[in-house]
Amino acid sequence: MSRSAVVHHLAGEPHSRPGFMRTYLFSTDHKMIGKQFLWLGLLMMIPGGLAAMMMRWQLAWPGTRVPFTGGIPEPFMYDGHMGPEFYNSLFTMHGTIMIFFVAMPILVGAFGNFLIPLMIGARDMAFPVLNMLSFWVGLLSGLLMIAGFFVPGGHAAAGWTSYVPLSAAAHFTGVDWGQNLWCISLIFLGISSLMGSINYITTIINMRAVGMTLFRMPLVIWSLFITAILLLLALPVLTSALGMLLFDRMAGTSFFLPEGGGEPILWQHLFWFFGHPEVYVMILPGMGIASEILSTFSRKPIFGYKAMAFSMCSIAFLGFVVWGHHMFQSGMNPVLGMSFMVSTMVIAVPSAIKTFNWLGTLYRGSIHFTTPMLGALAFVSMFVVGGLSGIFMASLPVDIFIHDTYFIVAHIHYVLFGGSMFGIFAGIYFWFPKMFGRMMNETLGKIHMVVTFIAFNFTFFPMHILGVGGHMRRIYDPTVYEFLADLQPINVFITISAICLGVAQILFVINFFWSLAAGRRAERNPWRSNTLEWSAPTPPPHGNFETLPNVYRGPYEYSVPGAPEDYLPQDRRLDPKPAPTG
């Protein structure tokens, strides 16, 4: 459909009210698809989080009965006691679910879908049907992943990185369907994400409102744009590698198996060529979300807008040339190792530019400590901690000691929980009013953010100490290693904190559902923000805007010294006249 045809379709003819199926299930409206992705991600937090709790229980009190596991049959559990194979499945599924079915669906699927058309002043995505398909294929992928828990032989257990030859171990035995389902599920996820990223990129390039130049786009749109490009270029590499792994497992090929002349290290290269850009897929949208929120609640334009956009571009570019930093221990040529080390450290530069610009945004702002603001501040501070431990590991000689220890578990959680999850919470608290037309409870939200922040640090900071003390990751029973005996009290402390962290999320669940049903009705622009989505009605109707906006300035192009509460009156940026048609 041409652009004007889309406008006609969406704005021109009066709509008959679509039925339940078209409204909620097979909707092609980007806002509904965004919400579907949000529900998917929130639901998948439950198995992902439960797996984490069960692992933590086992690590603190190995050999005791894990609570609430009475009904789980052998070989997963032996009368409530966890077997080692099940532990392996747990960390595999925890990592896989959290990355592919929580962080990606919410950050990219939910925020991407909901925000892109609204914030660039479009009526919908470029390819609405493709968009709907992307969700349904994504859902299918999630179901296949969960199905792995119920097949003979148990679920995949080779870690979320699925290294060969371990992941190819059931070669030809045919019973181990868990790992096969893991591969098939992620192949579907790759297809879903391909459809999504093509759609996002096309929409952002082609469907911006009149006057919305690239450098007038809000930073969160920049971040989603770059994320979509990363997904487009990186995920197909994983999809193909998964196909090869499946062939090795089921069809007798030997892409990765040395017995047949294959190369196990090839898997690592393919996986991490995808895997490193993937970590930026999970952090860039959070950076965008934090930027919008910090600017709104400092009542100041973002500091250094272009530097922010360009540093995201350079982070994305560098993200494709650093994958070898995950493979320092694979026996690679040290000269190659050095070049991966240097290119990795270079990423600290754009990351620092972003951090200082966030601080510059806060500096002398009129700061409002709302719930989304607390989430954004947590994001920035925890991202700094995670970034700093990343520099430790980027250093080849240091990594020799901390590779495969709890130091890496600490690091990934500082970026994935401290970064991505706080970004998700901040974004939900911020855009909930626009999504669902009601406000979330601020008091409950603030308690949730503060308790989560504290419990998060109690849970994950001590893991640095475990790691430096030599505590390996992915071990089932730390008490069998004598040299770890002194560290066991730390394991107990971490588990108690992790349980607090898990329980604290009930506050979020209560707030979310209570606000959905009975929250205060939201006005059009409750946070007095100045990006386009807030100029649409709340919640936005099908087609989003009464008249398509004309954009005269970017959201950060105002700088009022000593800015008052509303530094940017809506009517100074938006043309009240309808957009020219034709």
- φ, ψ dihedrals at 438, nearest 5°: -135, 155
Q: Which residues pair with 574 in a beta bridge?
A: 551
- Least separation, in Å, of the C-beta of 347 and ligand HEM? 19
- Least separation, in Å, of the C-beta of 87 and ligand HEM? 7
Q: Return the one option of Cu ion, ligand HEM, none that residue 502 interacts with (CB less than 5 to 8 A, by type).
A: ligand HEM
**How far is CA 305 from its chain centroid?**
23
Q: Which is nearer to ligand HEM, 159 or 264 (CB)?
A: 159
Q: Which is nearer to Cu ion, 257 or 312 (CB)?
A: 312
- Is the Cβ–Cβ distance between 455 and 448 less than 8 Å? no
SS3 of 500-540: HHHHHHHHHHHHHHHHHHHCCECCCCCCCCCCHHHHCCCCC
- Written as six digits, the tokens of 513 are 């559902």
Which residues does 263 contact at the CB level (< 8 Å), separation at least 6? Answer: 255, 256
Task: Collapse the DSSP code of 223 into the 3-class scheme (helix H, G, I; strand E, B; otherwise coil) and give the result.
Answer: helix
Q: Which residue is nearest to Cu ion, using beta carbons?
A: 276
Which residues does 457 contact at the CB level (< 8 Å), separation at least 6? Answer: none
- Least separation, in Å, of the C-beta of 192 and Cu ion? 23
- Least separation, in Å, of the C-beta of 404 and ligand HEM? 9
- Least separation, in Å, of the C-beta of 269 and Cu ion? 13
Q: Which is nearer to ligand HEM, 61 or 356 (CB)?
A: 61
Distance CA 199, CA 132 (A): 11
- Site map for Cu ion, 503-542, x if CB under 5 A? ----------------------------------------
- Least separation, in Å, of the C-beta of 539 and Cu ion? 38
Q: Return the one option of Cu ion, ligand HEM, none that residue 92 interacts with (CB less than 5 to 8 A, by type).
A: ligand HEM
Is position 269 an interface residue for Cu ion (rule: CB under 5 A)?
no
- Cα torsion angle, 357, 361, 367, 368, sign: negative
The angle, 0 to 180 degrees and rounded to 10, between the axes of the packed helices 348-362 and 371-394 is: 150
Q: Which is nearer to Cu ion, 55 or 279 (CB)?
A: 279
Q: Return the one option of Cu ion, ligand HEM, none that residue 66 interacts with (CB less than 5 to 8 A, by type).
A: none
Q: Return the one option of Cu ion, ligand HEM, none that residue 455 interacts with (CB less than 5 to 8 A, by type).
A: none
CA-to-CA dists, residue 169 to 1, 31, 178, angstroms: 49, 43, 12
Distance CA 160, CA 156 (A): 9
Q: Which is nearer to ligand HEM, 148 or 301 (CB)?
A: 148
- Least separation, in Å, of the C-beta of 280 and Cu ion? 9
Q: Which is nearer to ligand HEM, 137 or 498 (CB)?
A: 498
Number of residues that bind Cu ion (CB under 5 A): 1
Q: Which is nearer to ligand HEM, 80 or 502 (CB)?
A: 502
Cβ count near 49 (within 10 Å): 18
Distance CA 563, CA 235 (A): 44
Stretch that binds Cu ion, among 184-192, 276-284, 471-479, 550-558 (CB under 5 A): 276-284
- Least separation, in Å, of the C-beta of 103 and Cu ion? 15
Q: Return the one option of Cu ion, ligand HEM, none that residue 300 interacts with (CB less than 5 to 8 A, by type).
A: none
Q: Return the one option of Cu ion, ligand HEM, none that residue 199 interacts with (CB less than 5 to 8 A, by type).
A: none
Q: Which residue is nearest to ligand HEM, using beta carbons?
A: 95
Q: Which is nearer to ligand HEM, 300 or 326 (CB)?
A: 326
Q: Which is nearer to ligand HEM, 93 or 302 (CB)?
A: 93
- Is the Cβ–Cβ distance between 6 and 124 less than 8 Å? yes
Q: Return the one option of Cu ion, ligand HEM, none that residue 276 interacts with (CB less than 5 to 8 A, by type).
A: Cu ion
Query: Which of these, 471, 491, 460, 336, lies nearest to 404 by C-alpha position?
Result: 471
Is position 276 an interface residue for Cu ion (rule: CB under 5 A)?
yes
- Least separation, in Å, of the C-beta of 142 and ligand HEM? 15
- Written as six digits, the tokens of 300 are 């100041």
- Least separation, in Å, of the C-beta of 156 and ligand HEM? 10
Question: Taking the CA atoms of the chain, what radius of gyration do you get in angstroms?
Answer: 24
- Least separation, in Å, of the C-beta of 393 and ligand HEM? 14
Q: Which is nearer to Cu ion, 300 or 326 (CB)?
A: 326
Which residues does 66 contact at the CB level (< 8 Å), separation at least 6? Answer: 54, 57, 58, 77, 80, 81, 82
Residues that bind ligand HEM (CB under 6 A): 49, 52, 55-56, 91-92, 94-95, 98-99, 102-103, 159-161, 409, 412-413, 416-417, 420-421, 459, 473-474, 498, 501-502
Q: Return the one option of ligand HEM, Cu ion, none that residue 249 interacts with (CB less than 5 to 8 A, by type).
A: none
- Least separation, in Å, of the C-beta of 94 and ligand HEM? 5
Neighbour-count burial of 580, counting CB atoms closer than 10 A to its CB (0-12 exposed, 13-18 middle, 19+ buried):
exposed
- Cα torsion angle, 71, 73, 79, 82, sign: negative
Cβ count near 575 (within 10 Å): 16
- Least separation, in Å, of the C-beta of 394 and Cu ion? 9
- Is the Cβ–Cβ distance between 440 and 515 less than 8 Å? yes
Q: Return the one option of Cu ion, ligand HEM, none that residue 479 interacts with (CB less than 5 to 8 A, by type).
A: none
Q: Which is nearer to Cu ion, 276 or 464 (CB)?
A: 276
Q: Which is nearer to ligand HEM, 209 or 409 (CB)?
A: 409
Q: Return the one option of ligand HEM, Cu ion, none that residue 365 interacts with (CB less than 5 to 8 A, by type).
A: none
Q: Which is nearer to Cu ion, 280 or 456 (CB)?
A: 280
Query: Which of these, 268, 271, 258, lies nearest to 99 by C-alpha position?
Result: 271
Instruction: Kindly state the helix (H) or strand (E) to which residue 407 belongs, with its residue range.
Output: helix 406-415
Q: Which is nearer to ligand HEM, 380 or 408 (CB)?
A: 408
Stretch that binds Cu ion, among 44-52, 81-89, 272-280, 403-411 (CB under 5 A): 272-280
Query: Which of these, 359, 4, 33, 298, lies nearest to 192 by C-alpha position?
Result: 33
- Least separation, in Å, of the C-beta of 499 and ligand HEM? 8
- φ, ψ dihedrals at 81, nearest 5°: -95, 140
Residues interacting with Cu ion, by CB under 5 A? Answer: 276
